Amino acid sequence: MNNPKDMYQNLDTNSTVLEKREQLQTRLKTKLEESTWLHKFKQLSDLLTTIKTEIPATIFCDLRWLTEEETLLIHCPNPETKASLENEADKFAQVCSFAQRFVITYLDTPDFVITCSQTSNVH
Contact 92, 73 (CB under 8 A): no
Question: 111 in helix, strand or coil?
Answer: coil
- Using one digit for the tens of pLDDT, what is the confidence trace for 84-111? 999 999 999 888 877 899 999 999 999 9
In this structure, what are the phi and psi dihedrals at residue 98, rounded to the nearest 5 degrees? -120, -35
Q: For residues 114 and 86, give the distance between their C-alpha atoms in angstroms, rounded to a whole number.
A: 9
Neighbour order of strands in the sheet with 71-75: 62-66, 71-75, 101-105, 112-115, 121-122
pLDDT band at 118 (very low <50, low <70, confident <90, very high): very low
Contact 22, 29 (CB under 8 A): no
- Using one digit for the tens of pLDDT, what is the confidence trace for 2-56? 565 555 555 555 568 888 888 888 888 887 777 787 888 888 899 899 999 999 9
